[in-house]
Amino acid sequence: MSSLQINLKHKDIVNLLNDGYTIEIDSGYLIVKDIPYVNLRKEVKEDGILICSLDQSGQDIIKPSCHTIYFCGEYPCDKNGKALDKIRNTDQRINISNYTTNFRFSSKPKGTGKYENYYHKITTYDNIISSQAAAIKEDATAKRFRPISVKENDGVLNYYDTNSSRAGITNVSKKLENLRIGIIGLGGTGSYILDFVSKCLVKEIHLFDNDTFDTHNAFRAPSAPSIEILNQRPNKVDYFENIYSNMHKYIYKHNEFIDETNINKLYNLDFVFISIDNGESKKVIIDNLLEKNIPFVDVGLGISTASDKLDGIIRTTSFDGSRKDHIDKTISFANRNDEAYVSNIQISELNALNAVMAVFKWKKYFGVYNDELNELHSVYQISGNMLDKRFHNDEA
């Protein structure tokens, strides 16, 4: 049974995760680790393991048919070191997955004598055992909130997205599944876009950049590189892939700029973020994306100094497969060096905001966020704190 199916469908299992239990599903068994207990010597041990079989109907987990449970560890006792005989069933050593059980316990819930679900079953046994440990050691708890690793072929993230499950928005987050995303340019804004996208369930993330990661980049990008890394001047794609592959499994690095010779690498992508200054390259990229009807967001900053204060705009322009007459009206294809009035000022919070606006637009396109206006171009003006929205795709 895949981790993703559990994360999406089985509320009792998700509730265990949300409560902070360390769980594992293997070979049809639910394995709950880090159970604190008291041994015969009145010592608090925190490595107990509860194991029970998962009853299934097809791919669905149903109510537990059995009230017993296996335990790995010494026999649990009360706070005085007296064995908890009220749950004793048998001393039973059997091998389950990579674990060897020591005992089998039996405790029927009041009333029907059957557990309502696996959340009910696990929390009941945990309370019986852990409460005695907590009486000796106040902070003894099975709710450790450890990251739960995902198996190699089971999902695109290296550990469960418990943030979405805790918020009850997993089905919304799922809308981004199976998407192949391209990020062109890993400067200040592009690197923040990667930070946000890497936390999503997208199928693939492709990074395109041929620059090195230098000291100035460290001050306008997420993360905090060491001076040793900066001395190495790694390629940006190598630097960021090394960081974000800790979270997302399928990040592909392309240590190259996009031009006419390799533009075909974008053709199998489902969405592209463009965060570069080179006007000629941007023209090639956008013309091809328009021709192939591939949706994209292009971002830009225009920041200047006035009376020792920063002012300017943050631009977000998108193409969603509908109208495209706004592109030439809103995006400049001149090279930055050709624009004397444009500075190269970038500040991390402005880069982050530009990335936020781009990611908002992307997620609206795929139905994650509600989008009433359907604007294709917006400009945020710093000094006036104003957001101007233009070119709606439902306009004539």
Whether residue 381 is predicted with pLDDT greater than 70 in this model: the reply is: yes
pLDDT at residue 168 in the model: 67
pLDDT at residue 174 in the model: 87
Cα gap 62→65, rounded to integer Å: 9
Best CA proximity match to 126, nearest among 206, 52, 178 = 52
392 vs 45, more confident: 45
Taking only the tens place, the pLDDT of each residue in 248-282 is 999 999 999 999 999 999 999 999 999 998 889 99
Helix (H) or strand (E) run with residue 189 in it: helix 188-197
Torsion of CA 101, 106, 112, 116, to 10 degrees: -20
**CA distances for 378 relative to 41, 276, 315, 318, angstroms:** 68, 18, 6, 9
Cα gap 33→24, rounded to integer Å: 8
Contacts of 27 by beta carbon, 8 Å cutoff, 6+ apart: 96, 97
Q: Which two tokens stand for residue 278?
A: 């080179």
Taking only the tens place, the pLDDT of each residue in 182-232 is 999 999 999 999 999 999 999 999 999 999 999 999 999 999 999 999 999
Whether residue 8 is predicted with pLDDT greater than 80 in this model: the reply is: no
**CA distances for 164 relative to 50, 125, 161, 173, 198, angstroms:** 26, 27, 6, 7, 14
pLDDT at residue 354 in the model: 96
Taking only the tens place, the pLDDT of each residue in 12-26 is 888 898 899 999 887
pLDDT at residue 6 in the model: 52
| CA 163 remoteness from chain centre | 8
Indicate the pLDDT class of residue 167, thresholds 50, 70 and 90.
Answer: confident
pLDDT at residue 396 in the model: 45
Whether residue 4 is predicted with pLDDT greater than 70 in this model: the reply is: no
Domain ranges of the chain: 3-136, 169-392
160 vs 261, more confident: 261
Whether residue 237 is predicted with pLDDT greater than 70 in this model: the reply is: yes
Cα gap 76→328, rounded to integer Å: 72
| CA 77 remoteness from chain centre | 40
Cα gap 184→195, rounded to integer Å: 14
- Count of helix runs (H) and strand runs (E) in the chain: 12, 18
Whether residue 340 is predicted with pLDDT greater than 50 in this model: the reply is: no
CB 274 within 8 A of CB 362: no
| CA 198 remoteness from chain centre | 6
User: In this structure, which amino acid lies at residue 232?
Assistant: Q
Q: Is 390 helix (H, G, I), strand (E, B) or coil?
A: strand
CB 297 within 8 A of CB 317: yes
Indicate the pLDDT class of residue 334, thresholds 50, 70 and 90.
Answer: confident
Indicate the pLDDT class of residue 338, thresholds 50, 70 and 90.
Answer: very low
Q: What is the DSSP string of 298-339?
A: EEEEEEEEETTEEEEEEEEEEE-SS--TTHHHH---S-GGG-
φ/ψ of 194, rounded to 5, equals: -60, -40
pLDDT at residue 209 in the model: 97
Dihedral of alpha carbons 353, 377, 284, 177, sign: positive
pLDDT at residue 93 in the model: 87
Under CATH, what is the fold of the domain 169-392? Rossmann fold (3.40.50)
pLDDT at residue 251 in the model: 98
Instruction: Tell me the average pLDDT of the chain.
Output: 90
pLDDT at residue 210 in the model: 96
Task: Say which range, 93-97, 146-150, 319-323, has the weakest mean pLDDT.
Answer: 146-150
Cα gap 230→219, rounded to integer Å: 12
